Amino acid sequence: MGAIPTQRETASRAGAAAARTAEGFGEGFEECARARVTLLGSSLAPGAARAMTRAALADWSALGLPGTEHLTEHLAADALVVVSELVTNAVVHAGTDVEVVLQVEETGTLVVEVADHHPSRAPRGGEPETPHEPPEYGRGLRLVAALAEAWGVTYRPGCKTVWARLPAGGAEPAEGAVEAVAVESSGHRARTGAHAGGPHGAPAAGAGEPAVPDRPDRASGRSGRRRPRDREWLGRGALSFLAEASDLLAGQLDEDLVASLTGQLIVPRLADWCGVWLEDESLGRAAWSDDTGAAVGARLARVWHAGEGHLDALRAALEKEPPRPRDPWRSGPVGHPWPAEALGTHGSALAYRLVAGGRPLGTLVIGRTDPPDASGGPDGAGAPDTDGRPDADGRPGSPGFPDEITGLVEDLSRRVALAIGAARQYARQATISAVLQRGLLPGAVAEIPGVRSALVYEPRDKGGPSGDFYDLFPAGDGRWCFAVGDVQGKGPEAAVVIGLARPWLRLLAREQYGVPDVLDRLNQLLLDDATEAADAAARALVAAGGPPVAPGDGPQTRFLSLLYGELVPFDGGVRCTVASAGHPLPLLLGPDGTVSAVACPQTLLGVVEDATYVSETFELRSGDTLLCVTDGITERRSGSRQFDDGDGLAAALAGCTGLDAELVAERIRRLVHEFGPRPPEDDLALLVLQAE
């Protein structure tokens, strides 16, 4: 089975397929002018959908399809924004795979359809296709309403589709439409789209009205003064800004990098400077001192200024005036003291709490220098509030920040908080996995008299825990034992099995059990543990209101493939006894280059009750090399081929004749990596034992 294509590869292929289909219009215009792609419901889906849209529009234009003469830059920008917002909405609220369809009509109108498959979103009883007005609109749907001539939602059994029609040439957002996107509507609802007749019908009466009527600043009755650069961002630039920012932040797994990117996104587009505080979430509300109001568990992670010469002074000023405690659940910004001494100017600063998953994570503070005519002017803007304090209802009253800008930053702050929360969750999981991994592997590999050993261990997930494990330890009375195993599954499930197997292997070996007896008892241990786990899961299911399950009938998934052996040095060589339980067989390389398997295949551990295992005994003489591997090596893929096809592993080992143990291990590792163009998709583990 080949490698699964990435979201970006899928989008690119979709665009190319649209172009190939369109050649000559041989299959009809509708098929030629339609692009379709199915994307995994992940944070990468919006970016992949935009890539597909760009590719399809470029291909259609190059082919000169009817209607493409109307594909203006405005229409293309609108399409990217609408596709991004609809896919984001589907991923967040449904979490299933998302199907995206883009079609250009002969009139130049673009039709966008985004479908998800959340079962709870389809009508019950198999009702026919029914247009339905959604009960609530997110910001993304208000944005879609502002750009589309018609839009709506169609329900089918097991599927929900949101569609939008974008007029030829691209429509200029109606007066107030941008404000509807960038600022909370305070109870108003979008009045376009869902009233339209259908995906391909004309807009109904009322479509095209502003989603939210114009309104002044809620606190002071005035709108903030807009700078020339504001006019650039309050048009189509603002509509695509959040989508692109979401993509940039979503892939970051380090909270300090998220804070750094936040500063670069905001400055100088939306503010002259900004600072990002990150809190120690383990302290919670205790991160703020009740006496001084200073941040105890918070640190100023990043400071950004449009003029680099002000960074040091701004950082020092912000550290002296950290954000004050406030209700973390209150939405919207509050005023923050302006660092006049550090900057030598007057202006306005706003503080936004960063909250995600019910946890306060930090604070974003942004500042704008007041324009020269801030004390008054023909637009009626009042004097600035230079003390930075909020007005009576908690909203800052300042000509430096129009409502559209504060709303846009508020939206961005939500995305920043989600990215910080995701980065912290990843860091926690990586730490836990690393601790588990260290605990599941031996601290050191034993040295055996008369035997050189070498090991390669490469978990696919560098954070672990891996499904592969190894061990090499003394068992007493001049005996040493070794094991190379592979657990079904990865992560915590694998850790449970390894946590059982490794200690039991050591205990049974030191209790003088022979190789076959160790496997017999470990097999029974895994079966007993799996049954207990299944019974516990069945009881939990019944307690939750599920159907009754008979004891022992639940899933049993404690499967383990294991190569286990015992080494006993003697004068002139080493006696080796091995047994393989569902594991790739060990290979013996002689000094003359001959390679042979030295064990027989047997059943996986944890599968068959009362299974009986047997072992093979042979001697390792000077120059003999024993190679033990996991299936990550034998099943390494390159297209339809595997590394061990045609005894590929034996051939690779034969090429190691005359090499010492370390070089044998390194050569096999290198050949496995070079076998395919992509990195290995499974864990790799190999153990080399060579008689001196």
CATH number for the domain spanning 369: value is 3.30.450.40
Same domain, 548 and 488: yes
State pLDDT tens for residues 128-155: 334 433 333 344 566 787 788 888 888 7
Q: Is 183 exposed, middle or buried (0-12, 13-18, 19+ CB in 10 A)?
A: buried
Q: Of 186-195, 260-269, 317-326, 538-547, which range is least confident?
A: 186-195
**Number of structural domains in the chain:** 3
Domain presence at residue 457: yes
> When comparing pLDDT for 537 and 159, which is higher?
159
For position 542, what pLDDT does the model report?
A: 58
Residues 414 and 506 in one domain: no
Which residues pair with residue 561 across a beta bridge? 486
Mean per-residue pLDDT, 506-525: 93
Residue 462: pLDDT band with limits 50, 70, 90: low
What's the pLDDT score for residue 583? Answer: 94
Instruction: State yes or no: pLDDT of 244 exceeds 90.
Output: no
Q: How far apart are CA 265 and CA 249, in angstroms?
A: 10
pLDDT for res 126: 37
CATH of the domain at 54: 3.30.565.10
Residue with tokens 């637009």: 379
Buried b (16+ CB within 10 A) or exposed e, 22-31: beeeeeeeee
Residue 275 reports pLDDT greater than 80? yes
Please, which pLDDT band fits residue 30 given cuts at 50, 70 and 90? low
d(CA 148, CA 202): 11
Closest to 424 measured CA to CA, from 324, 301, 303: 301
**Does 467 map to a domain?**
yes
Q: Is the pLDDT of residue 390 over 50?
A: no
Is the confidence at residue 242, as pLDDT, over 80? no
Same structural domain for residues 557 and 588? yes
Q: In CATH, what number is assigned to the domain containing residue 607?
A: 3.60.40.10
Amino acid residing at 94: A
Residues 533, 611, single domain; the answer is yes
State CA 5 to chain mean position distance. Answer: 16
Has residue 655 got a pLDDT over 80?
yes
**DSSP assignment, residue 125?**
G
Instruction: Flag whether pLDDT at 552 surpasses 80.
Output: no
Q: Hunting for tokens 């800008």 — which residue is that?
A: 405
Neighbours of 650 (CB within 10 A): 17
Q: What is the pLDDT of residue 463?
A: 55
User: Of 144, 166, 182, which residue sits at a domain end?
Assistant: 182
Model confidence at 44, pLDDT cuts 50, 70, 90, reads confident
Q: Does residue 489 sit within a domain?
A: yes
When mean pLDDT is compared over 39-48, 70-79, 626-635, the highest value belongs to 626-635
Vertex 95 angle, CA 91 and 97, to 5°: 80
Q: What is the mean pLDDT of residues 293-318?
A: 82
Quote the pTM value: 0.52
> Are 629 and 654 in a shared domain?
yes
pLDDT at 274 over 90: yes
Nearest to 226 by CA among 399, 384, 349: 399
The predicted model gives 230-238 an average pLDDT of 57
Angstrom distance (rounded) from CA 463 to CA 436:
10
- Sheet of strand 625-629: strand arrangement: 451-458, 684-691, 625-629, 587-589, 595-597
DSSP E strand boundaries for 227-377: 273-279, 298-305, 334-335, 347-356, 359-369
What six digits make up the tokens of 683?
A: 């864990």
* More confident site: 76 or 534: 76
Mean confidence (pLDDT) of the chain: 75
Q: What is the pLDDT of residues 585-629, one digit of tens each?
A: 999 999 999 999 999 999 999 888 888 999 999 999 999 999 999
Mean pLDDT of the region 198-219 = 32
Nearest to residue 618, comparing CAs of 589, 575, 584, 570?
A: 575
Residues 425 and 468 in one domain: no
Q: Is residue 484 over pLDDT 80?
A: yes
Which of 506, 626, 633 is closest to 578 using CA atoms? 626
Q: Give a yes or no: residue 230 inside a domain.
A: no
| Interval 664-681: pLDDT, tens | 999 999 999 999 988 888
420 with 538, same domain: the answer is no
Give pLDDT, residue 202.
33
Is 436 among the domain residues? no
Lowest mean pLDDT among 181-185, 410-414, 486-490: 181-185
Task: Tell me the two tokens of residue 513.
Answer: 């059990």
Query: According to the model, what pLDDT value does residue 91 have?
Result: 75
Is residue 417 domain-shared with residue 475, that is, in the same domain? Answer: no
Q: Which residue has the higher pLDDT, 283 or 270?
A: 270
| Residue at which a domain ends, from 429, 449, 465 | 429
Q: Which residue has the higher pLDDT, 439 or 538?
A: 439
Higher pLDDT, 291 or 100: 100
Residue 285 has pLDDT above 60, yes or no: no
Report if residue 221 sits inside a domain: no
Say yes or no: 421 and 467 in one domain.
no
User: Is residue 190 pLDDT above 50, yes or no?
Assistant: no
Report the pLDDT value the prediction gives residue 428, as an integer from 0 to 100. 83
Residues 414 and 342 grouped into a single domain: yes
Q: What is the pLDDT of residue 467?
A: 79
Task: State the pairing for strand pair 347-356/273-279.
Answer: unpaired
Residues 404 and 480 in one domain: no
Q: Can you tell me the mean pLDDT for 470-474?
A: 92
Query: Binning pLDDT at 50, 70 and 90, where does residue 653 land?
Result: very high
| C-alpha span between 148 and 171 (Å, rounded) | 8
Among residues 150, 182, 214, the one where a domain terminates is 182
Q: Highest mean pLDDT range out of 21-25, 382-386, 487-491, 518-522?
A: 518-522
Residue 134 structural domain: 7-182
Higher pLDDT, residue 45 or 125: 45
Give the pairing type, strands 616-620 and 573-581.
antiparallel
Whether residue 132 is found in the same domain as residue 24: yes
pLDDT of residue 629: 96
pLDDT at 191 over 50: no
Q: Is residue 42 part of a domain?
A: yes
413 contacts: CB under 8 Å, gap ≥ 6 = 352, 353, 354, 364
- Average pLDDT on 4-27 reads 43
Q: Classify residue 194: in a domain, yes or no.
A: no
Query: pLDDT grade, residue 281 (50/70/90)?
Result: low
Q: Model confidence over 396-417: pLDDT tens digits?
A: 444 568 877 888 888 888 889 8
